[in-house]
C-alpha cells in the first residue's frame, strides 16, 4: 500500500474454497479490496470483485491479473491459495494424476507469480504462497502434494531473493490439516484422523481463520522485514 492509496488490493486464488473464503474474509475485514479468482469466477461475499482463473493456463493467469488491475486499479498482494490433492500409494498413482497436481499446485503458483510481477515491480508489494507442512515433513500417501508444496517453499525462497530489489516480499504459509472441501474425504475417517492428530503436538486441526490470519500478518507492515520465510501454522508438526 502506498500513501496515496487508502485501500490495498489483494488478488486471492482459489477464493471460493474453504481456506480461500477465510482469507478473503480476513483481508476484507482489515481494509483490503479483495479480488477473488477461481474457476468459473466464483467468489465469497466478502470479495469486492471476481475474476475467472484457470491456473493451468499462462494466458488465463495473465488475464486474471489484468482484470484485477482493470477493476480494482492495481494489485498489492497476491495470495496463491488454490491447490488440489490426490492421495494414494505412489507406486500405483497414475502419471496423469501426478501431472494434474503438479500443474495446479506448483506450475500454477509459478504462473501467477510471473503474471503479477510487472504490476508489483512498479512500486513493490507482497506475494504469499500457500504451502503445507507436507512440503516440510514426509507424509505417506501424499507424495504428489508434498513434492509440489516443497517446490512452492523453494520457489518462495528464490523469488524472495530475486525480487527483493523490486521491493517485492515473497513468503509462504504452511498449515497442517485444515477442515476444507479438499480434506473432506479424510475428516470423517476415524482411523486416519486419530493417526493424524497424533502427529500434531497441539493435538487438533488448524482452523481456516488461523491460516487466514497468518497470511494477513506476513503480508502486513508489521512483517516488513520478513521475506523468503515459510510461516508454519501446524501445531508443532514441523518441529518433530
CB 203 within 8 A of CB 197: yes
Distance between CA atoms of 16 and 18, rounded to whole angstroms? 7
Instruction: Give me the active site residues, please.
Output: 145
pLDDT level of residue 4 (50, 70, 90 thresholds): very low
Distance between CA atoms of 140 and 239, rounded to whole angstroms? 18
- The pLDDT tens digits of the residues spanning 166-215 come to 999 999 999 999 988 778 888 888 888 999 999 999 999 999 999 999 99
- For the cut 50, the answer to whether the pLDDT of residue 3 exceeds it is no
Whole-Å CA distances, 79 to 15, 99, 215: 9, 23, 8
Domain 9-232, CATH: 3.40.50.720
- Spans of all domains in the chain: 9-232
Q: Which residue has the higher pLDDT, 66 or 87?
A: 66
> pTM for the full model?
0.94
Which three three-digit cell numbers place residue 140? 505417506
CB 81 within 8 A of CB 180: no
Amino acid at each position: 500500500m502506498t500513501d496515496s492509496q487508502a485501500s490495498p488490493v489483494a488478488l486471492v486464488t482459489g477464493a471460493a474454497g474453504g481456506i480461500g473464503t477465510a482469507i478473503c474474509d480476513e483481508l476484507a475485514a482489515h481494509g483490503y479490496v479483495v479480488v477473488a479468482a477461481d474457476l468459473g469466477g466464483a467468489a465469497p461475499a466478502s470479495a469486492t470483485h471476481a475474476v475467472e482463473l484457470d491456473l493451468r493456463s499462462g494466458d488465463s493467469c495473465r488475464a486474471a491479473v489484468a482484470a484485477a488491475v482493470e477493476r480494482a486499479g492495481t494489485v498489492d498482494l497476491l495470495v496463491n491459495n488454490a491447490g488440489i490433492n490426490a492421495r494414494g500409494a505412489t507406486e500405483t498413482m497414475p502419471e496423469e494424476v501426478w501431472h494434474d497436481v503438479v500443474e495446479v499446485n506448483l506450475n500454477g503458483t509459478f504462473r501467477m507469480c510471473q503474471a503479477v510481477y510487472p504490476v508489483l515491480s512498479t512500486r513493490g508489494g507482497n506475494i504469499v504462497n500457500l504451502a503445507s507442512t507436507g512440503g516440510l515433513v514426509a507424509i505417506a500417501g501424499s507424495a504428489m502434494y508434498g513434492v509440489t508444496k516443497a517446490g512452492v517453499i523453494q520457489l518462495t525462497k528464490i523469488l524472495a531473493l530475486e525480487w527483493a530489489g523490486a521491493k517485492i516480499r515473497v513468503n509462504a504459509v504452511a498449515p497442517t490439516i485444515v477442515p476444507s472441501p479438499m480434506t473432506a474425504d479424510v475428516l470423517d475417517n476415524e482411523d486416519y484422523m486419530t493417526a493424524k492428530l497424533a502427529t500434531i503436538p497441539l493435538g487438533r486441526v488448524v482452523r481456516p481463520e488461523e491460516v487466514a490470519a497468518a497470511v494477513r500478518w506476513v503480508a502486513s507492515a508489521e512483517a516488513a522485514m520478513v521475506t523468503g520465510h515459510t510461516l508454519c501454522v501446524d501445531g508443532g508438526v514441523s518441529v518433530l
